[in-house]
Structure 1
Amino acid sequence: MAAKDVKFSRDARERMLHGINILADAVKVTLGPKGRNVVIDKSFGAPRITKDGVTVAKEIELSDKFENMGAQMIREVASKTNDIAGDGTTTATVLAQSIVQEGNKAVAAGMNPMDLKRGIDLAVTEVVAALGNAAKKIKTSEEVAQVGTIAGNGDESVGKMIAEAMQKVGNEGVITVEEAKTAETGLKIAAVKAPGFGDRRKAMLEDIAILTGGQVISEDLGIKLENVGLNMLGRAKKVSISKENTTIVDGAGKKDEIQGRVAQIKQQIEETTSDYDKEKLQERLAKLAGGVAVIRVGGATEVEVKEKKDRVDDALNATRAASASAARRKSKSRKRRTASMTPSTRPVRPWKKASLQAAASHCCALRPTSRSPASMPTRLPASTSFAVHCRLRPVRSLRTQVRKLRSLPARSSTTRARPTATTPRPANMAT
């Protein structure tokens, strides 16, 4: 077993902080639309020029083990941000460096590290909420182009290209970025794990078969693998396979069959009552109905092509994230409006009814109004039935009904209160 160099306390923190600063200082020069490029030496071929923060972070390896550990932690921040959002890796690196620096100062001054960690968690929640409130929704194609232009280092052609691609395929479509001239690979056959599980996997395989003009090979359908013929296979102009996703471009399926499948999925979405099933059906619908666009990046040299491809990738990911965020906020606001505009009516439970009677009696005894001085009963009849308009919180609607009881006008004992369109009142209530 190799010997280990062990460091403690301040010495360990300072060595790791030094490594963090080395990596973050190299990455932060690429921040924002005015960021500068970084030249990376390669062991073979021409050097690589890039403005992508995560690419710079992945290329840094330090000789000192403790400094390298600090650099690896920040590299993980950039890599995770790239996996989730696709962009913003430089911003994440700068924020992580600042958090570590200020946290190190606080710990050195005697602050409890766990209290510091809890404070950071609370601050993150507040900052994320503030950013969500300050975010601006993207509504037009011009705004999409502006986001792409800023993320593409001020290149307007990149922004327009991305806006055109998103306009053609929609927010749910697939957009890939390629180099204009690439060498052909020798891959002829690739095995890809089928998506989903159980019955949902079978349905998604049927979607792929319809999209490519093929046929699902399954023993459930009476078809064995040894009996498969070439006429059962599907075709596509291109199939792009990555670690997480497989993209089928320009499948050979018949248009009327694809449209029929889309209509079938839409009908299933309307019929299902499960939010989870509805979400999965909408994902399948987006994959069938959404288009696929390919952006080919060209240049005079290989170095220029790779540098521009990095910029287009960042711009595309930033634009897609902005569009998806705007769509989610729009969906949430629509759900809130629907919930507030369509209240459900349901009877009040006995214990709530008793509470309502007691509250009404108490309010009438303490605060008789000029409109109902004596005709308002001190206790409601036991046979009185209630219907509360519940929106989001039954307790709040219960209080609302109590407030309505205070302002009921004086009527004869045989008259029932009628709810109006503007002021909902409990049904079948004797006054």
Structure 2
Amino acid sequence: MTMTARIIRLDDAARAPLMRGVDLVADLATTAIGPAGRAVLAGRNHTGPAMMRGGHAISQEVEVDDPGCRAGVAAMRQVAWRTSDAVGDGTCTAILIARGILREGMTALRAGISPGELEQALRAHGEAIASELRASSRPAVGYGELVDLAVRAAGGDTVIGTLAAEAHRRTGREGVVIVTEGQGAEDDLEVRPGLHFDEGWLSPHFATDAEAGTADLENPLILLHHGPIERLGPLLRVLEMMAEAGRSLLICAGGFGAEALGTLIVNKQRAGLKVVAVKAPGAGLWRMPMLEDIAAATGATVIADAFGTSLDRLRPAALGRAESVRVTRDGMTLIGGAGDPDTIALRRNAIRLDIERERHLSFDREQHRQRLARLSAGVAKLHVGGQSETVIRQRTARAAAASAAIRAAPGGLVPGGSAALLHAGRLARKSLPAGLAGRLVGRVFDAALGAPTEAIMANAGLDGRAIRHRLAEDANVDGFDVERRVFVPGEMILDPAEVLIAALRTGVSAGTTLFGVGASVAECV
């Protein structure tokens, strides 16, 4: 039997390499934070270098050999991932807060307080600060504030910030903006009205405009089938009725057998049948909810074995209706569905509950958001261009940050930017516990909450410590404009409250978990 050797470290010997890993990621995040932050260059063996600015992207690039150091890197990577997953931005802020809590928490433990007592006090005070942040927030006023917010989140890039704000304006509050890397030098904003899915026709022979490659159906009937359709026998009566009435038909199914598809194409070409066959959107478990979304929007009934329905017993009432449908090679869009408004409203509420319940899988949550957007406002795709792959990636990251800031804006905006953390910390001092624990907790948070502001100022060549001290202690000073290099009213620098609260909670959670480490066990490499 082969035994694997392990490295065992105790006390400071265990905490020191952990702290080195945390410092490694936090120092890189410090470089990138704020309007004057610089990119972190990540070299690649077989492709061009990548320019990283977000804490999540930066942490993913850090790899070290020492197992203790590797644990610290992994912890900061988890902090960045959880913050990005929750609000899409604020990852550098979360990393710096986590390091501040960890470093000062380790110092506080030397004063004789137990790790459990200190952890409990820090978590409770963190929630008090979060409450002060929420209390100081206010709703966004007008489209102009959202543009300013997006531009700031995009690192001062006016073009990207304005484009992201326009995408959100056109899709509405419950719409979805998907930011992707473009293929050329130009940016492109594509807003899809109605119910859109990325599933196109199964054959170009269904196109009504061969040159454009589009199939347009006016006032069509809509058949939704969960499984594959292998033969058209059960549909013949429906097809005959449809042809007699001069109606068009969209068939959306999990698949089509060669015989069924060929018969539809022949009947369209020779008999003039107005029909288009598309594959049902979604894969696996996602297919049924997406078909049910279409059913709610169009008044159709999904034909599926699970529901006890089949094509053999198909009735005209099971077919949905819409004002028009456009199908291309890449997707289909349904406009003016005839679904019952109350049924659609219930469907939206059910999806909202799905979003709230899905706390762990970001992919599933995003799928639910897109479903809600299709039934509510629409989906916008922002294709970000540039002169090179490196530039495109850099601008795409900025656009994603701008979009995340706008998406978090409904939770309220707080004045002062990162200085809002300092103001909230000052206001929350009244809730500190008495005695030694209160003094230690106050010191920990003074350092942790000031770390983002100090780094932002230092990146601009300013005295970060002096500016942080004045913002923290002077109740008459709300914010500092890095670009203009002057103290300004906090209303001139607004940040989404949800982003700062998420960064605070994630940082406090990680920091308080790690400073209780008393030993480590790792495999020898």
Give the whole-Å Cα distance in 1 for the aligned partners of 2:149 and 2:308. 49
Alignment equivalent of 1:172, drawn from 155, 171, 174: 174
Q: Map 1:190-229 onto structure 2 (within 5 A).
A: 192-194=283-285, 205-209=291-295, 216-219=302-305, 220=307, 222-223=309-310
* Residue type at the aligned position of 2:113: M
1:8 aligned residue: 10
* Residue type at the aligned position of 2:391: E
User: Does 2:334 correspond to 1:253?
Assistant: yes
Alpha-carbon shift at residue 112 of structure 1 (Å): 0.7
Give the whole-Å Cα distance in 1 for the aligned partners of 2:284 and 2:396. 29
TM-score, normalised with respect to structure 2: 0.50
- Aligned Cα root-mean-square deviation (Å): 3.8
Return closer, same or farther for 1:224/1:142 CA change in 2, 3 Å cut-off. same
Q: Map 1:23-422 onto structure 2 (within 5 A).
A: 23-181=25-183, 192-194=283-285, 205-209=291-295, 216-219=302-305, 220=307, 222-223=309-310, 251-257=332-338, 260-262=339-341, 264-266=343-345, 287-325=374-412
Give the whole-Å Cα distance in 1 for the aligned partners of 2:128 and 2:91. 21
Q: Deviations over 1:257-303 (max 9, x none)?
A: 2xx34454348999x9xx979x9999976541211111111100111
Return closer, same or farther for 1:304/1:147 CA change in 2, 3 Å cut-off. same
Give the whole-Å Cα distance in 2 for the aligned partners of 1:163 and 1:306. 19
Higher strand share: 2
1:335 aligned residue: none
Give the whole-Å Cα distance in 1 for the aligned partners of 2:112 and 2:405. 40
Partner secondary structure for residue 7 of structure 2: coil
* Residue type at the aligned position of 1:301: S
Is the CA contact (8 Å cut-off) linking 1:175 and 1:293 kept in structure 2?
yes
Alpha-carbon shift at residue 315 of structure 1 (Å): 1.1
Alpha-carbon shift at residue 180 of structure 1 (Å): 1.6
Unaligned runs of 5+ in 1: 240-249, 327-431
Alpha-carbon shift at residue 131 of structure 1 (Å): 0.7
Q: Could you list the runs of 4 or more consecutive aligned residues of structure 1 that deviate by over 4 angstroms after TM superposition?
A: 187-191, 209-215, 234-239, 267-270, 279-286
Q: Deviations over 1:67-99 (max 9, x none)?
A: 111111111111111111111100000000000
Is the CA contact (8 Å cut-off) linking 1:269 and 1:282 kept in structure 2?
no
Partner secondary structure for residue 98 of structure 2: helix
1:339 aligned residue: none
Give the whole-Å Cα distance in 1 for the aligned partners of 2:381 and 2:329. 11
Unaligned runs of 5+ in 2: 185-199, 203-278, 358-367, 414-525
TM-score, normalised with respect to structure 1: 0.61
Instruction: Tell me how many residue pairs correspond in the alignment.
Output: 296
Q: Deviations over 1:373-419 (max 9, x none)?
A: xxxxxxxxxxxxxxxxxxxxxxxxxxxxxxxxxxxxxxxxxxxxxxx
Q: Deviations over 1:321-350 (max 9, x none)?
A: 113547xxxxxxxxxxxxxxxxxxxxxxxx
Which structure has more RCO (C-alpha within 8 Å, separation ≥ 6)? 2
Is the CA contact (8 Å cut-off) linking 1:194 and 1:205 kept in structure 2?
no
Partner secondary structure for residue 253 of structure 1: strand
Give the whole-Å Cα distance in 1 for the aligned partners of 2:71 and 2:107. 19
Give the whole-Å Cα distance in 1 for the aligned partners of 2:383 and 2:132. 37
